[in-house]
Amino acid sequence: MSDTAARAAPAPQISPDNPCPFLRALVAGNYVGGHIVPLPELTGTIGRATGKTGFEGFTARAKIFLVAQIANGLGPFSQLRSLFQGAILDALRNGPLDKHGAGSRILDQHAVVHEDEIARLATFGKDYKAPDGSVERGLSAAEIKTFMAANFQRAKDEHPPSYGILHCYYPLLMLGEWPVLLDIMGKGEGKDRYLSVAEVRTLFVDKRFPDRIVALLNG
C-alpha cells in the first residue's frame, strides 16, 4: 500500500469494551487488530514496546502472556479459547481485570476520556526534569502507588464497608496497569524514573504513543 493510500485509510474502530489505553493505542496504530489477537502476537508486540531483551525480555513477555490469557475469563473454556484463538480485545470490559470504577476513571464505560481525572492524576505527582532539559509533571513509582491507593479508597468510600473486603484483590490488579505504564513509558532511571502526565493524556485522548515507543514497536 502506498503512503497516500495508507493516510487515506479510515482509522481503526476501537470498541468501548476495550478499556485499556495501551491496547487501544496499539489498535489505533494498527499494531494489532481490534478483535481477536493471538497471544503470541499480542505478547510479542507489547514485548517490543518494553525495549527489553535477553532474559529480562523473556520474563517480561511471559508475564504479558499470563495476563493476556486470563483477560477474557478465568474459566476453563475461556482459558482454552484464549490459548488457541487469542485475546478478544473488544470484550475485555467486565472481565476479570475490570475494576468497575475502582481505578483512575480517566476512561469511562463509554470510552469517554475525562479530563478532570487526568488533572486529578497530576495532583499526585510533581515536576520532573525531562531528558531534554525541560520540566514536566510526572509521577514516580511511589507517587503512582499513592495514586492507586487513593483510587481504591475513593471506591470504598462510595460503597458499604463490605466492599473493601469483597474487592480486596483490586490493588493486585492495579499492579498490572500504572506500574507497567511507568516501566514501559517512563523517563529516567531508578528512583528518578517518572511517568509523564502529558504523555498519559496523549495515550488516552489521542491513542498515540511517544515517538520512542513507536520506534521500538516498529523495530
Q: How much of the chain exceeds pLDDT 70, in percent?
A: 95
CA distance 152 to 125: 17
105 within a domain of the structure (yes/no): no
Task: Looking at the structure, tell me whether residues 152 and 195 fall in a common domain.
Answer: yes
- Cα-to-chain-centroid distance, residue 114: 16
104 within a domain of the structure (yes/no): no
Task: Looking at the structure, tell me whether residues 152 and 202 fall in a common domain.
Answer: yes
Task: Looking at the structure, tell me whether residues 151 and 89 fall in a common domain.
Answer: no
192 within a domain of the structure (yes/no): yes
106 within a domain of the structure (yes/no): no
Residue ranges making up the domain that contains 181: 114-207
Nearest in space to 139 (alpha carbons), one of 202, 183, 105, 205: 183
Task: Looking at the structure, tell me whether residues 126 and 191 fall in a common domain.
Answer: yes
Residue pLDDT, tens place only, 141-168: 999 999 999 999 999 999 999 999 999 9
Task: Looking at the structure, tell me whether residues 94 and 149 fall in a common domain.
Answer: no
Residue pLDDT, tens place only, 163-214: 999 999 999 999 999 999 999 999 999 999 999 999 999 999 999 999 999 9
213 within a domain of the structure (yes/no): no
Residue pLDDT, tens place only, 180-193: 999 999 999 999 99
Number of domains in the chain: 2
Distances (CA, A) of 193 to 41, 55, 86, 121: 29, 22, 33, 17
75 within a domain of the structure (yes/no): yes
Task: Looking at the structure, tell me whether residues 91 and 15 fall in a common domain.
Answer: yes
CA distance 124 to 127: 11
The grid coordinates listed for 69 are 490469557
CA distance 87 to 99: 18
Nearest in space to 137 (alpha carbons), one of 150, 154, 152, 118: 118
Task: Looking at the structure, tell me whether residues 91 and 138 fall in a common domain.
Answer: no
Helix (H, G, I), strand (E, B) or coil at 16: coil
Task: Looking at the structure, tell me whether residues 53 and 127 fall in a common domain.
Answer: no
215 within a domain of the structure (yes/no): no
| Overall pTM surpassing 0.95 (yes/no) | no
Task: Looking at the structure, tell me whether residues 126 and 89 fall in a common domain.
Answer: no
103 within a domain of the structure (yes/no): no
Contact 90, 17 (CB under 8 A): yes
Task: Looking at the structure, tell me whether residues 21 and 72 fall in a common domain.
Answer: yes
Task: Looking at the structure, tell me whether residues 83 and 127 fall in a common domain.
Answer: no
